[in-house]
C-alpha cells in the first residue's frame, strides 16, 4: 500500500509539473521549462530506491538479479521498479526525478535514484547501491542520523 501511495504522489507531481510547463508555454512564458519547474517534484526522503529500466535492455537485465538479492537481503527497503521504454507515465517520472536530482540530460538505463543520488549503469549500480541501502536501513533503526 505504501508503494502505491509513493507512486501516486510521484505521478501527481509529474502531472503537476507537465501542467505548469504546458500553461507557461501556451501563455507565452517560455522561461518556465520542465527543468525549472522540476523542483516541484518530490524525489522523496531518500527512503525509496527507484530503479528505471527498459524492458529489452540487456544491461538492465544484468542489474535485476542484484536488485532481487538486495530485496531479499534488505526486505524493509522499498525498491520501486519503473519501466520507461514502453510506459509513458514512468518515462515522465524518470525525466522529472532526474531533473529534481539535478541531472540536466537523461543518462539512460539502467538507472537508480535514491534521494538526490543517481547511479547509472550495470557497473556503478552493483558497486555503489548496497552502501546506500545499508544507510537507509541504519536510518530506519536510528532516525536521528
Architecture of domain 43-141: 3-Layer(aba) Sandwich (3.40)
Q: What are the C-alpha distances in Å from 117 to residues 22, 28, 31, 96, 113?
A: 28, 34, 27, 14, 6
Q: Tens place of pLDDT for every residue, the chain, 145 residues?
A: 566 656 656 555 555 444 444 433 333 333 332 332 333 344 555 678 999 999 999 999 999 999 999 999 999 889 999 999 999 999 999 999 999 999 988 899 999 999 889 999 999 999 999 998 998 888 776 666 5
Length of the chain: 145
Please state, in angstroms and rounded to a whole number, the distance separating the CA atoms of residues 98 and 79. Answer: 17
pTM here is 0.68
In the chain, where the domains are located: 43-141
CA 12 to chain centre: 14
> Exposed, middle or buried, 2 (CB in 10 Å: 0-12/13-18/19+)?
exposed
Amino acid at each position: 500500500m505504501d508503494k502505491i501511495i509513493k507512486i501516486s504522489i510521484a505521478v501527481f507531481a509529474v502531472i503537476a509539473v507537465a501542467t505548469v510547463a504546458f500553461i507557461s508555454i501556451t501563455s507565452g512564458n517560455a522561461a518556465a521549462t520542465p527543468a525549472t519547474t522540476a523542483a516541484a517534484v518530490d524525489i522523496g526522503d531518500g527512503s525509496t530506491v527507484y530503479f528505471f529500466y527498459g524492458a529489452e535492455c540487456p544491461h538492465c537485465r544484468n542489474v535485476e538479479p542484484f536488485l532481487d538479492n538486495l530485496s531479499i537481503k534488505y526486505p524493509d527497503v522499498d525498491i520501486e521498479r519503473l519501466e520507461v521504454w514502453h510506459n509513458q507515465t514512468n518515462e515522465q517520472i524518470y525525466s522529472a526525478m532526474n531533473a529534481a536530482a539535478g541531472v540536466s540530460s537523461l543518462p539512460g538505463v539502467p538507472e537508480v535514484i535514491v534521494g538526490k543520488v543517481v547511479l547509472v549503469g550495470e557497473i556503478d549500480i552493483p558497486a555503489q547501491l548496497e552502501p546506500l541501502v545499508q544507510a537507509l536501513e541504519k536510518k530506519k533503526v536510528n532516525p536521528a542520523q
